Structure 1
Amino acid sequence: MNLGWLPLPQPWRARWALYLDLIRWDRPAGWLLLLWPTLSALWLAAGGWPGWHLLLVFVAGTILMRSAGCCVNDVADREFDRHVKRTAQRPVTSGRLSAREALTVGAALALMAFALVLTTNAAAVAWSFAALAVAVFYPYTKRFFAMPQAVLGVAFSFGIPMAFAAVRGEVPVLAWGLMAANLFWVLAYDTAYAMVDRDDDLRIGIRTSAITLGRWDVAAVLAFSVLHLALWTGLVWPHAGGPWLAAGVAAAAAQVLGHARLIRGRTREGCFAAFRLNHWVGAALFAGLALQLALGG
């Protein structure tokens, strides 16, 4: 990553480049996959525009926590990642950053996110501890759990109850329903992601949903996506149903069909493209919801 524009001595620029590589700064698809369902929950909890304060807290907090999660994940997986073509050159795996330094960066980012949560309310602060615990636990589930993507689904969905808690001071049943729906979406796109590395993962003994599902992987990704859209729409429609929401769901459904075509051949390129593009599904749902709440009709 070229940071020649930074007014810093060369060794400092090189270090910053490693830190940015560690948190995948140039690959925003990861934090966008967390952001869109979180923003949808925030808008739904507030009945529309939630205000600048909460918007900034949850956008910045999502980016910070995803970045912290990358630090923990790379330390936990460093022995596995060196045997996978796609991950062998990550900063910790390649030895350019020590595990201790990566964890220090992750801890600093998590503390910054926690400082943001402290500006909300006690309910959101309380739920942030559970969110952190799941995020730290997830990387280790690949060693013993046949579907670690399900644990990732919980970790990637915790912005939903936290958004409701920050707005309303409580987490209603609706929030847990949306969290369950989002879990199916995570299972869909992260199974496609796991299909990229299936050959390497089989060789080194990591467990993933792509390996567990076997020849049913493509059908399962499509089924998970359909379940996500059906559950999400069924839960949201009574609160914000209308033409704008319907248009958002239709746009998301069209993308799901496009992603199914991308992974049908099970090529690395097609599966990785489906993963990278999947955040637009969440963007379409959020846009439909936000427009419906703002414009009605």
Structure 2
Amino acid sequence: MEAQSSLPDTERHWLIAALPPAARPFGLLARFDRPIGWWLLFWPCAWSVALAGGAAERWDLLLWFLVGAIAMRGAGCTYNDIVDRDLDRKVERTRGRPLASGRVSLRAAWIWLVLQCLIGLVVLLQLHWEAQLVALGSLALVAAYPFMKRITWWPQVWLGLVFSWGVPVGWVAITGEAAPAMFWLYAGAVFWVIGYDTIYALQDIEDDALAGVKSTARRLGTHARSGVAIFYLLALACWGIAIWQVRPQWLAVAALIPAALHLLWQVATLKREDGADALAKFRSNRETGLLVALACLVIGATA
């Protein structure tokens, strides 16, 4: 645990402390100490279920999606660390990770990855077959993501495609088919992810430059704040169109005002060269997700 404490974005979450000492490196490998990742993966699922009008009737599905978000986020982080174990040793923030530091063997990491995927499989079996097919369609995107930072300046775009996949899964799970609102909601989620992960990447600009890792934060440079603002504006526009598709009234679109104000606060107060501030703004997107979910819940329930 000592090596991990040097990482600025590590939370001493109660779950890690509750684990037996031998299990703690695996908890860290799955990022159980950083629950923000669960929420960012879960919220797009909740948005689509709510906007499709299924939140009240299928509240159990929301719980299954949360379990799936925890399991598959952990599996994704484990896979990412397997792929990046050598690269992680070159970055100050990540060199203490269990695989990079040698606290977990490569074989044990693969076994842990499989176990988490089995939990995801249990969640998958709770969906009808159309939603299952949609969910399985994300596997190629997930597998390719860790390599994107090596080949493109825009790996956050790929992450957006992956972390937003809960939108089509949730929508099809409720309605059994795709719809224009679903695609707009998904597009908005993608832009949102690009924005908040650009903020997250501000922490690593110097280390990423030394290690040769590409990111939107490095690509945008001094224009990072403006870039994040544009991504957030695009997200809000797409979410607004999605809501309009379900309920074509300006009052319905106004349900996004609280989320818009929250995103405006993020951009207006973002300190590009302050890693701690960037991390705090990134984590505040848990509240953004909740605000959008409430807007979708109100509109979906009254459409």
Normalising by structure 1, what TM-score?
Answer: 0.90
CA distance in 2, matches of 1:260, 1:82: 31
The one-character-per-residue Cα deviations of 1:53-89 (angstroms, maximum 9, x if unpaired) are 3222211111111111010111111111112222111
- Between the aligned partners of 1:243 and 1:19, the Cα distance in structure 2 is 47
Cα offset for 1:100?
A: 2.2
Conserved 8 A contact 1:245-1:285:
no
Q: Deviations over 1:79-138 (max 9, x none)?
A: 111122221111111110112212221221112112221221111111222212211210
Counterpart CA distance in 2 for 1:91 and 1:48 is 38
In structure 2, C-alpha distance between the alignment counterparts of 1:4 and 1:97, rounded to whole Å = 18
1:92–1:22 Cα change, 3 Å: same
Q: Residue 246 of structure 1 aligns to which amino acid in structure 2?
A: A
SS at match of 1:14: coil
Question: Equivalent of 2:254, from 234, 246, 253?
Answer: 246
8 Å contact from structure 1 (residues 245, 291) kept in 2: no
Task: Map 1:109-128 to 2 at 5 A.
Answer: 109-128=116-135
Q: Does 1:106 align with 2:124?
A: no
Offset at 1:197?
A: 0.2
Shift of 1:227: 0.8
Residue 273 of structure 1 corresponds to: 280
Aligned length: 289
How large is the RMSD of aligned CA atoms in angstroms? 2.1
Q: Hey, what does 2:169 align to over in structure 1?
A: 162
Q: Does the CA-based 8 Å contact 2:225-2:272 persist in structure 1? A: no
* Corresponding residue of 1:225: 232
SS in 1 for 2:207: helix
Q: Secondary structure at the match of 1:92?
A: helix
Q: Following TM superposition, by how much is the alpha carbon of 1:213 offset from its aligned partner in structure 2, in angstroms? A: 1.6
Equivalent of residue 29 in structure 2, options 12, 17, 22: 22
Name the stretch that deviates more: 278-287 or 125-134. Answer: 125-134
CA distance in 1, matches of 2:57, 2:165: 18
Aligned residue number for residue 189 of structure 1: 196
Counterpart code for 1:133: A
Is the contact between residue 163 and residue 193 of structure 2 (CA under 8 Å) also seen in structure 1? yes
Compute the TM-score of the two structures, normalised by the length of structure 2: 0.88
Residue range with higher mean Cα deviation, 271-280 or 257-266:
257-266
Q: Distance in 2 between matches of 1:245 and 1:47?
A: 19
**Alpha-carbon distance in 2 for matches of 1:4, 1:87:** 20
CA distance in 1, matches of 2:259, 2:96: 34
Listed as ranges, the matches of 1:63-142 within 5 Å are 63-142=70-149
- 2:41 is aligned with 1:34: yes
Equivalents in 2 of 1:125, 1:221: separation in Å? 33
Structure 2 residue runs without a partner (length 5+): 1-11
AA aligned to 2:109 is A
**1:243 offset after TM fit, Å?**
5.3
Find the counterpart in structure 2 of residue 206 from structure 1: 213
Q: Secondary structure, in 3 states, of the residue corresponding to 1:97? A: coil
- Tell me how far apart the structure 2 counterparts of residues 35 and 281 of structure 1 sit (CA, whole Å): 12
Contact 1:262 1:271 in 2 (8 A): no
Q: Where in structure 1 are there 5+ consecutive unaligned residues?
A: 7-12
Question: Identity percentage over the alignment?
Answer: 34
Q: For 1:59, which of 66, 88, 91 is the aligned residue?
A: 66
Stretch deviating more after TM superposition (44-53 or 276-285)? 44-53
After TM superposition, give the deviation of residue 258 of structure 1 in Å: 1.7
1:178, 1:289 → 2: CA distance?
Answer: 10
Which aligned runs of 4 or more in structure 1 are off by greater than 6 angstroms?
Answer: 1-4
